[in-house]
Amino acid sequence: MYSEKVMDHFKNPRNVGEIDNPDGVGEVGNPVCGDIMKIFLKVENNTIVDAKFKTFGCGAAIASSSMATELVRGKTLEEAWDVSNKAVAEALEGLPPIKMHCSVLAEEGIHKAINDYRKKQGLPLWEEKHPHSHEHGEDLTCAH
Ligand code: FES
């Protein structure tokens, strides 16, 4: 059911933990399955120099947070904002359709952490270009 990449990032997740004095923190949850993800960012000169996560959730959510933190490290905030849940899933060599919503948590967590940073800097918050809806038909249901 899962690609080798997913299994690898599930068994050996990268960037697990917290950052001391993070510049941005984003916490998101999926109300359906109750899974929770927290993302911590360290930002220097508009670039993400460190990213860590804590995820209480399914294997696909753990693999997605691991991959998402890998993908945003070294990126500017603009580039990191454009890392979509599809990009995370592609980097994991695919997720089963019923697990795609787990990668949405990673995108939302990164976005929240970036906006937390922007808020602390007194900058205007960025808006979701492709809001994921928990109500309007997009399948975010969890299947454990
Ligand atoms: Fe809930 Fe994966 S995030 S099942």
- For a substitution probing ligand 1, which of 28, 95, 102 has the most ligand atoms within 8 Å of its CB? 102
Q: Per-domain residue ranges for the chain?
A: 4-135
- Could you please report the per-residue DSSP string of 29-73? E-TTT--EEEEEEEEETTEEEEEEEEEES-HHHHHHHHHHHHHHT
**How does pLDDT run across 57-99, given as a tens digit for each residue?**
999 999 999 999 999 999 999 999 999 999 999 999 999 999 9
pLDDT bin (cut points 50, 70, 90) of residue 140 is: low
Count how many Cα atoms sit within 13 Å of the Cα of residue 106 in the half-sphere of its side chain: 34
pTM exceeds 0.75 for this model = yes
Give pairs for 90-95: CB < 8 Å, separation 24+: 91/5, 91/67, 92/3, 92/5, 92/6, 92/9, 92/63, 92/64, 92/67, 93/3, 93/4, 93/5, 93/6, 94/3, 94/6, 95/2, 95/6, 95/60, 95/64
Pocket of ligand 1 (CB under 6 A): 30, 33, 35, 57-58, 60-61, 102, 105, 142, 144
- For a substitution probing ligand 1, which of 35, 65, 100, 132 has the most ligand atoms within 8 Å of its CB? 35
> How far is ligand 1, taken at its centre, from the CA of residue 119, in Å?
28
Give pLDDT, residue 67.
98
Distances (CA, A) of 67 to 50, 118, 125, 137: 13, 23, 24, 26
- Tell me the longest C-alpha to C-alpha distance in the chain: 45
Q: Which fold has domain 4-135?
A: Sufe protein. Chain: A (3.90.1010)
CA nearest to 30, candidates 129, 115, 98, 130: 98
pLDDT bin (cut points 50, 70, 90) of residue 120 is: very high
Residue positions annotated with a catalytic role: 33, 102
